[in-house]
Amino acid sequence: MLDVKKMRIAFIGSGRVASELALIFRFKGIEITGISSRNQESGSKLASHLDCPFVEDPNKLDAELIILATNDTSVRTLCASLSNDKFIAYTAGAVDLADLTRENCGVFYPLQTFTEKRHLTVDEIPILLESYSDLMRKKMERLCEITGLTFEYCSSPDRQKYHLAAVFVNNFVNHLIHEAQEQLLHNGLNWELLKPLLEETIDKLGDYSAFDAQTGPAKRNDQATLNTHQALLKGEALSIYEVLSRSIQNTYKDHD
């Protein structure tokens, strides 16, 4: 049986990823020994919420494993500045582990989006792991097992491809929804009427591939409807509509 009390974790960073993971770990009984962050205000606030100290100098963090939850650019700088005896697992999706020369380093990448004031359960956060050493691998494995997080091993090149796919699935889709909301707001129309459509769009992917689930005027090459829509748009929104419509048409042109 795993001994939770012996797992001591610290965090560098105080943003959405650090906050959510730290809260999950603490809920699962893991001791959070400290928070270090460039943003002293948010770092101190998170530390207070977790009943642990805020540590200005990350080299003074005392933990079995330090989770480095900062942006991609900061990962390289911070890893180079931390003493070699510390075990560091970073959460960045696009940083290649091969670019970091320290042995006691690994990747603990949550393949999920995190939003302030929205809390996720462990079964909603798959973790991609990568490490240089067996000891680092065992530490990260044990952390996942204690918390109940599902995980699999993934090379940096494959993780970067997952990260790219996640941008399409999350960031781009969210931006398209923003464009739809802006169009409706501009025309005094009701966004609530589109929510069932959005829910069905996602739900049916449990039964169909996105390729098979595709519908709409671009797929059926309904040029009259495409022209009508384009006449209602301008600027970036028009460009997005044209690019996506053309991509859909090219995808299905040989599948009539």
138: tokens are 């065992």
- To the nearest whole number, what is the mean pLDDT of the chain? 94
pLDDT tens digits for 84-133? 899 999 999 999 999 998 889 999 999 999 998 899 999 999 999 999 89
pLDDT of 149: 97
pLDDT of 256: 64
Average pLDDT on 215-243 reads 96
Tokens 């400290």 sit on residue: 34
Residue 126 sits at the vertex; the CA angle it makes with 120 and 128, to the nearest 5 degrees, is 140
d(CA 164, CA 152): 18
What are the beta bridge partners of residue 67?
11, 89
Domain 160-252 = CATH 1.10.1040.20: yes
Average pLDDT on 206-234 reads 96
pLDDT above 60 (res 22): yes
Q: Give the residue range(s) of CATH 3.40.50.720 domains in the chain.
A: 4-154
pLDDT tens digits for 49-84? 999 999 999 999 999 999 999 988 899 899 889 998
DSSP letters for 218-241: TTTT-HHHHHHHHHT--HHHHHHH
pLDDT of 4: 46
Tokens 């992917």 sit on residue: 205
Q: Give the residue range(s) of CATH 1.10.1040.20 domains in the chain.
A: 160-252
d(CA 22, CA 129): 18
More confident residue, 117 or 255: 117
**Residues of the chain above pLDDT 90, percent:** 87
pLDDT of 131: 95
pLDDT of 207: 97
pTM: 0.91
pLDDT of 111: 97
Q: Of the CATH numbers 3.40.50.300, 3.40.30.10, 3.40.50.1240, 3.40.50.720, which one belongs to the domain with range 4-154?
A: 3.40.50.720
**Residues of the chain above pLDDT 70, percent:** 98
Q: Band the pLDDT of 1: cuts 50, 70, 90.
A: very low
Average pLDDT on 1-25 reads 85
